Amino acid sequence: MVPAAGIGSRMAADIPKQYLPLHNATVIEWTLRKLLAVQRVRKVVVAVAEHDPHWPQLAISQHPQIVTTGGGAERADSVLAGLGALQGLAQSNDWVLVHDAARPCVQPASINRMIDELHDHPVGGILAVPVADTLKYASPREPADIDKTVDRKRTWAAQTPQMFRYGELLNALQNASGDGFIVTDEASALEHLGVQPRLVVGRTDNLKITTPDDLALAQLILASQSNLLE
Ligand SMILES: Nc1ccn([C@@H]2O[C@H](COP(=O)(O)OP(=O)(O)OP(=O)(O)O)[C@@H](O)[C@H]2O)c(=O)n1
Ligand SMILES: C[C@](O)(CO)[C@H](O)COP(=O)(O)O
């Protein structure tokens, strides 16, 4: 399931960042090519904004493995909408991988390794990388001042895909929404139910394209992956 209904406000571009040009295609086309290169991915549901004029113009939107649905106001709403579109296609015990449209540099090998590690895990988990930098909390009074240093010994940066059983993920997201518990990733909803998703070591180059400088970096990464999808 690919949430792709965001507006990319932090990118401050004329169009949503998932449709920006990247390495002779667009951000979302690279993301979908990577997912479709994983043999064990059967269907990809893409949640796009209502009346999105860009998505229908992409040939990949007609790919036989791709189903399109409408997204929501927040990322979690778009993911819930995408899961709704899988009703009847997915069984409760099927694994669902949620992957940001804004993460085009993911490697199929990382996704396959996560599936290998988690396919018989009781909960599921996420791609993530241990934090290498020293982390600081900003002052609540002056954002440019350091308030304190965060213990990074057990700190990881969550990425996507995030992989959970269809029924459990649907329940967890609906429960979080009902509790008014705001989640910025799927794992948070499972944690809110008291379960512990697994951390699967990912790659630091699986960046989420968020601000303009991320595009130049993604271009370099994709150029270095030229033989990846052959
Ligand atoms: N209502 C939303 C908001 C975000 N997303 C998707 O969730 C992914 C990660 O979100 P983010 O990087 O925050 O994208 P935007 O919300 O578009 O960015 P911003 O917060 O800068 O506006 C993106 O692929 C985005 O398209 C979505 O499907 N529906
Ligand atoms: C899901 C995610 O990519 C994990 O790091 C991240 O939480 C998305 O956050 P965003 O603010 O919706 O980009």
83 lines ligand 2 (CB under 6 A): no
pLDDT, position 56: 98
User: Domain spans of the chain?
Assistant: 2-224
Q: Which atom of ligand 2 is nearest to the CA of 210?
A: 13
pLDDT category at 64 given cuts 50, 70, 90 is very high
Using CA atoms, how far apart are residues 151 and 75, in angstroms rounded to an integer?
28
pLDDT, position 186: 98
Q: Which of 68, 77, 100, 214 to mutate to test the pocket of ligand 1 (most atoms within 8 A of CB)?
A: 100
52 lines ligand 1 (CB under 6 A): no
5 lines ligand 1 (CB under 6 A): yes
Q: Is the ipTM of this complex over 0.90?
A: yes
CB-based contacts of 31, cutoff 8 Å, min separation 6: 2, 18, 99, 100, 101, 102, 103, 104, 106
Using CA atoms, how far apart are residues 30 and 147, in angstroms rounded to an integer?
39
Task: Pick the residue whose CA is nearest to atom 8 on ligand 1.
Answer: 100
208 lines ligand 2 (CB under 6 A): yes
Give me ligand 2 centre to Cα 184, in Å. 5
* Structure confidence by residue, pLDDT tens digits, 91-128: 999 999 999 999 999 999 999 999 999 999 999 999 99
Q: Which stretches of the chain are assigned E, i.e. beta strand? A: 2-4, 21-22, 25-26, 44-48, 66-70, 95-98, 124-130, 135-138, 146-150, 156-165, 198-201
Q: What architecture does CATH give domain 2-224?
A: Alpha-Beta Complex (3.90)
pLDDT, position 229: 82
pTM of the complete model: 0.98
